[in-house]
Amino acid sequence: MIKPIKFVSPAEAVKVIKSGDHVHLSSVASAPQCLIQAMCDRGRNHELKNVFIHHLHTEGPAPYAAPEFEGIFQLDSFFVGSNVRKVTQSGYADYIPIFLSETQKLYRDGVLPCNVAMIQVSTPDKHGYVSLGTSVDATLAAVECAEYVIAVINKHVPRSFGDAFIHINDIDIFVEDDKPLEEAIFKEPNEIEAAIGRNCAALIEDGACLQMGIGAIPNAVLSQLGNHKDLGIHTEMFADGVLPLVESGVINGRNKSIDKGKMVSTFLMGSQKVYDFIDNNPGVAMMDVGYTNDPYIIAKNDKVTAINSALQVDITGQVCADSLGTTFYSGVGGQIDFMYGAARSKGGKAILAMPSATNKGISKIAPVLSPGAGVVTTRAHIHYFVTEYGAVDLYGRTLQERARLIISVAHPDHREALDKAAFERFGPHHQYIKNITK
């Protein structure tokens, strides 16, 4: 039996939140902004205190993290997105370091309580099912574990398949809001990013199963794949860059061992075109993050090619991707999930790609990582390293060989200083290795 839906106002819906509760928000484009505003109104009225907020990255405003709500709301996010970066760095919000694959376990294993899950979903079908649309990730686990589930039914939320469906009988409170989803529009790659894209694309084989994030470098890679054949997608997220390759038949998933013919993801961020693309599309499976990011699931496909980025890399191949020194900038995310999964895949390639220097000309390749920098991907996990100056394969290489190879794709302005640092670290034998392996 399908229970009737009774809509209430956002203000009425958030009355179930109590002081001391833990509240989960659905991610990225699906952050329920009308509920967020209503919750913050209660905070301004001094009706709440010590409410813990959890989410992955969200698009749009995050007012609950503002200094004015100190002692009222405490954001402990699973990833430091751009909209909460400054408040996290200043100490008004905090961050839980965790592999993206394990975010769902925090709820399912009871490490974190979930008193209220605030989500945004599609309109119900005739069987009473709504879809989580662009945000399955850890949100499905939060829905399963929450004492109260508040759902914003929004006609703009796409009806995605996979693990995205939940029944309205499992929802406690309904709100209606038809505000369009937040969109993310990305700039065209610059010359450096385009060069990195070409160098990465040269490593991608026909029949490969791709994972890459969003932004200029992934878009640059995708733009170079027009002549490839039979590519698949198993990723944590994708954006507009895949659409032309799907339309041209380059991405078809026919070589995948699991989820054959389907594009697998756990959340999305892009333009309205992406949201329209996944709507009622059985070729896209929006899955639980415990599935998409499980390295052992990832490795079931052959030729998994994972392309991820970094903030800094040292000359032995240690990768910092979450902080600038002691200052947190993003998070662990799914990088190690996919780097390890790709490495385990038959014919797989774990690729780390980044510009050789910052916009200010500072080398992103360093003799040692900055004090306080977090090692997200260890030197044992990285295989291919790519900059605008080329691609090198570090797998099976010694520390001295790695240093030589990494320095070879550093910015020319910094190679001499890096080579001097390597000489001081490894002794004269480093120079010998450099000479005999040119």
Residues annotated as catalytic are 236
Tokens of 92: 């008004």
Query: How many angstroms separate the first and last alpha carbons of the chain?
Result: 72
Closest listed residue to residue 287, CA positions, set 322, 334, 219: 334
Q: Which residues pair with 387 in a beta bridge?
A: 390
Q: Which of 41, 54, 50 is nearest to 15 (CA)?
A: 41
Torsion sign over Cα 78, 80, 82, 88 = positive
- Measuring CA to CA, which residue among 102, 95, 26, 106 is closest to residue 293? 102
Spatial separation of the C-alpha atoms in residues 162 and 412, rounded to whole Å: 47
- State the Cα–Cα distance between residues 184 and 271, nearest whole angstrom: 6
Task: Round to whole Å and give the CA distance between 432 and 438.
Answer: 10
The token duo for 39 is 């919750």
Sheet holding 304-308, edge to edge: 232-233, 209-212, 304-308, 349-353, 384-387, 390-393
The DSSP bridge partners found for residue 390 are 387
Question: Strands across the sheet with 284-286, in order?
Answer: 161-162, 284-286, 263-265
Q: What is the residue whose two structure tokens read 């329209």?
A: 276
Q: What are the start-end ranges of the H helices in 45-138?
A: 85-89, 103-108
Burial class of 360 by CB neighbour count within 10 A (0 to 12, 13 to 18, 19+): exposed
